[in-house]
Chains A and B, each alone.
Chain A
Amino acid sequence: MADTDLYAPGVAREPGLKDYFDLLKPRVMSLVVFTALAGLLVAPQSVHPMVGFTAILFVAIGAGASGALNMWWDADIDEVMRRTARRPIPDGRVPASDALALGLGLSGLSVIMVGLAANLLAAALLAFTIFFYAVVYSMWLKRWTPQNIVIGGAAGAFPPMIGWAIATGGVSIESICMFMLIFLWTPPHFWALALFMKDDYSNAGVPMLTVTHGHRSTRRHIFVYTLVLAAFAIGMGFTSIGGPIYLSVAVVMNAIFCKGAFDILRRDRAAADADGFAVEKSFFKFSLLYLFLHFGALLGDAALRSAGLWGGF
């Protein structure tokens, strides 16, 4: 009997725990933990640390579960794209059926645990987020429309709203603002990635804007969306969760982000090919710092308020 007969179909060896952990998209989970925690901590009410810890942990696990369901559904696309070819299913480390089972199991567990630890609204928001990412985005939008990541970006925007709901039990204008910040940030972030992924998306048959409308149109879209994002992000500084730290960070970061978007707008494919998409890559990397610093600044202002050093505009 050959060694491969011992394993499930489609895998080359016995999967380890790390292979299953990779199904949960750990880097996305870390972003979810950070933004959900920010939503929890900037809220006017506080929760017991154990309740907050458990709720945020299971929000992260819920996000990971939706990542596993996404990898199960998109295994055929991931196999073709260089960026995703090393994921556990196309790499032959985990059978697709295991990803489905893990995704469904952890989805149910995470929603129940958030409901028990915090409240039903937070659990319902998490359930909707998982459904939106796994079904609406992965199964429907992604292969159908170039607006896929514009609408699908909502899935990634829910965590701070869930964090806020864990603390307050409700939804308010402030939590909607945090949702909108990530929602508006997502298109420029992913379109910059799509520009330097070159032919990955077209080879996989995914109708990204770069495939359906070309690079010229994508560069215009990045610029316009960045301007809208910048106006919103700076305006958010004048809400009750904003403050001097957020406003200072927002002004500086958005000025740099708009400059980056303008540089992308001015370039053409030949210029980008010549320097290996250097401007697009640095814009993409900066977009991660952009989001991190905006939520970090919200936390800074929350600390100022709780110390009595800032009373709001």
Chain B
Amino acid sequence: MIRAEHEIHTRRKSRNVGVGLILATFALIVFGLSAVKITNVGPQESFDHVVRPALAVEDS
């Protein structure tokens, strides 16, 4: 007899949900880390994301 829900299906489903949550958390961490890195390097050119010399404060 063919059962619609074998134990293997429920186990795989819970594992896949777990992996999905882990991947979503990973994406959030990468996003958060990127936001922190980008906002902590000072004034930047917007087109190539390097420090903009014109905005750098000159040493007196």
Chain B proximity of A46: nearest CB distance (Å): 13
**Is the Cβ of B8 less than 8 Å from the Cβ of A6?**
yes
**Is the Cβ of A117 less than 8 Å from the Cβ of B8?**
no
- When distances are taken between beta carbons in the complex, the residues of chain B under 8 Å from A48 are 36, 40
Known: A17-B19, A57-B29. A50 touches B36 (CB 8 A): yes
Known: A6-B8, A48-B36, A50-B36. A17 touches B15 (CB 8 A): yes
**Smallest CB-CB separation from A7: which chain B residue?**
B8
A6 to B35, CA, bound (A): 45
Tally of contact residues, A, Cβ under 8 A: 15
A54 within 8 A of B: yes
Interface residues of chain A: helix, strand, loop or mixed (majority): helix
* Interface 9-residue window, one of A8-16, A66-74, A78-86, A161-169: A8-16
**Is the Cβ of A51 less than 8 Å from the Cβ of B11?**
no
Known: A50-B36, A117-B33. A14 touches B19 (CB 8 A): no
A14 to B11, CA, bound (A): 7
Interface membership of chain B positions 8-34, coded 1 if the CB is closer than 8 angstroms to chain A and 0 otherwise: 100110110011000000000100110
**Is the Cβ of A50 less than 8 Å from the Cβ of B33?**
yes
**Is the Cβ of B15 less than 8 Å from the Cβ of A51?**
no
A51 to B35, CA, bound (A): 11
- When distances are taken between beta carbons in the complex, the residues of chain A under 8 Å from B14 are 16-17
**Is the Cβ of B18 less than 8 Å from the Cβ of A17?**
yes
Interface membership of chain A positions 1-37, coded 1 if the CB is closer than 8 angstroms to chain B and 0 otherwise: 0010011000001111100000000000000000000
A191 to B60, CA, bound (A): 62
A116 within 8 A of B: yes
**Is the Cβ of A14 less than 8 Å from the Cβ of B33?**
no
**Is the Cβ of B40 less than 8 Å from the Cβ of A54?**
no
Chain A proximity of B32: nearest CB distance (Å): 5
- When distances are taken between beta carbons in the complex, the residues of chain A under 8 Å from B32 are 50, 54
A57 to B36, CA, bound (A): 16
B7 within 8 A of A: yes
A48 to B36, CA, bound (A): 8
A14 to B9, CA, bound (A): 9
- When distances are taken between beta carbons in the complex, the residues of chain B under 8 Å from A13 are 7-8, 11
Chain A proximity of B45: nearest CB distance (Å): 21
Known: A6-B8, A48-B40. A15 touches B33 (CB 8 A): no
Chain B proximity of A17: nearest CB distance (Å): 4
Q: List 21 A-B contacts (CB under 8 A).
A: A3-B7, A6-B8, A7-B8, A13-B7, A13-B8, A13-B11, A14-B7, A14-B8, A14-B12, A15-B11, A16-B14, A17-B14, A17-B15, A17-B18, A17-B19, A50-B35, A50-B36, A54-B29, A54-B32, A54-B33, A57-B29
